[in-house]
Amino acid sequence: MNDSTFNSSYDYACQLDRQDRLASFRDEFYMKEGIIYFDGNSLGLLSKRAEKSLLTLLNSWKQFGIDGWMKGEYPWYELSEHLGAKTAPLIGAAPEEVIVTGSTTANLHQMTAAFYEPKGKKVKILADELTFPSDIYALQSQLKLKGYDPRTHLLQVKSRDGRMIEEDDVIKGMTDEVALIVLPSVLYRSGQILDMKRVTAAAHKRGIVIGFDLCHSIGAIDHKLNEWDVDFAVWCSYKYLNSGPGGVGGLYVNKKHFGRTPGLAGWFGSRKDKQFDMEHTWTPAEHAGAYQMGTPHILSAAPLLGSLEIFEEAGVENLRKKSLDMTRYMMDLISYELKGMGFVFGNPLEDGRRGGHIYLEHNEAARICKALKKNGVIPDFRAPNGIRLAPAALYNTYDEIWRAVHILKRIMEEGQYKQFENKRETIA
């Protein structure tokens, strides 16, 4: 950024909002007056359409009782497949390669149980040291179930700076002992996007199966999983997809793996015409639906119906462009207004490597987050010293970015953060 050319005025922020072609989507969401919400990368806000679709399925229960499985606007029996088809364009997949089901961790257990096949020298799993802890817990658990010690058989790519993972280091870790690789598409702290195309090609060149956790990328960036030949992926829907707290997860299985037996079988993975035969010989579905286990959580999945309509109308490419523009503007404004106040960007500065949020580091981060909340700005703290700020392309504005940065400036100048303890709350 060139200080002499950057326009830091409030009028310019308003001008950017007037030029925003996606601005009308803000009206779709319930925004609390006096609150600037920058935590959509943890929990997205409720949209009116998500509320409507939830009420629609609630009403189908009320109206039809058990017949809701086959009646109503959205019969429950194939709701997971219907939602999978609506999700597929967001990740560059065919409809039959996606199923909406379970949770991120449950789906990762399922994928690992199916795709981790230790043979000969190939007995280890490769992950990274910066990934979300739940993924590591799942991989450790799966190794133990196969009789291996996670301390020796779970390899974690080291970070050079504690913020990011270099693709060169990931590829270097692809030894002839690795049977499976599981990586995040976007690192949850720093917001770094991994080059999924490059690392997938490198893994396949070495005969290694590779999958990704898309929790911090789905709905924020565009993907081409099928084109990149990714083997599998898992994700949640309550962040950028705005499906609500604990909203249903999803998974992708590349069609080249159709016919592979899921590691964890359950009756909802059955072929639909066979499921209610109640036989003790399982006939799995011939697509990603085979990886379902238990009965779908209908009321948990319902808000996603309305939310995905919005994504279809807005277009994920358009959302990605606006997201990059907003994070770039926020970084420039922070650099201009908060100079000398101890803030350091922990996120990638290059657009091509940055996900949907920025990551500010400061020694007083926990206290600063509490002060921001008291002043009506909702951030996200990540230990030990990180402040995540996610201007969501569907509902945040440049005006909010401008005001939030100036609120943060006032907090620092007045020392407001000093009244708080520098430790996280129970939920950070």
Model confidence over 142-191: pLDDT tens digits?
999 999 999 999 999 999 999 999 999 999 999 999 999 999 999 999 99
* Residue 50: C-alpha distances to residues 69, 300, 318 (Å): 20, 11, 21
Binding site annotation covers 176? no
End-to-end C-alpha distance for the chain, whole angstroms:
31
Binding site annotation covers 213? yes
For 51-313, give the CATH class. Answer: alpha beta
User: Whole-prediction pTM value?
Assistant: 0.96
Q: What is residue 287's predicted lDDT score, i.e. its pLDDT?
A: 97
State pLDDT tens for residues 202-246.
999 999 999 999 999 999 999 999 999 999 999 999 999 999 999
Q: What is residue 54's predicted lDDT score, i.e. its pLDDT?
A: 98
- Name the stretches of the chain with pLDDT < 70: 1-2
CB 356 within 8 A of CB 390: yes
Binding site annotation covers 399? no
Token pair listed for 77: 């029996």
Residue 190's identity, in one-letter code, is: S
What is the distance, to the nearest Å, from the Cα of residue 133 to the centroid of all Cα atoms in its chain? 14
CATH architecture of 10-30+315-419: Alpha-Beta Complex (3.90)
Q: What is residue 189's predicted lDDT score, i.e. its pLDDT?
A: 97
> Helices 398-414 and 10-18, interaxial angle, to 10°?
160
What is the distance, to the nearest Å, from the Cα of residue 299 to the centroid of all Cα atoms in its chain? 21
Q: What's the residue count for the chain?
A: 428
* Residue 230: C-alpha distances to residues 50, 138, 255, 294 (Å): 30, 20, 10, 26
Domain ranges in the chain?
Answer: 10-30+315-419, 51-313
Binding site annotation covers 105? yes
CB 216 within 8 A of CB 233: no
Binding site annotation covers 132? yes
Distance CA 357, CA 335 (A): 16
SS3 content of the chain, % helix, strand, coil (to 5): 45, 15, 40
Long-range interactions of 408-414: CB distance < 8 A, separation 24+: 408/334, 408/338, 408/368, 408/372, 408/377, 409/337, 409/338, 409/341, 410/375, 411/368, 411/371, 411/372, 411/375, 412/338, 412/341, 412/368
Token pair listed for 426: 């129970």
Q: What is residue 426's predicted lDDT score, i.e. its pLDDT?
A: 77
Binding site annotation covers 295? yes
Binding site annotation covers 5? no
Same fold, 10-30+315-419 and 51-313: no
CB 366 within 8 A of CB 423: yes
The DSSP letter of residue 351 is: G
Give which of 132, 87, 117 is closest to 260, Cα–Cα: 117
Q: What is residue 1's predicted lDDT score, i.e. its pLDDT?
A: 67
Binding site annotation covers 238? yes
Binding site annotation covers 273? no
CB 88 within 8 A of CB 308: no
State pLDDT tens for residues 364-381.
999 999 999 999 999 999
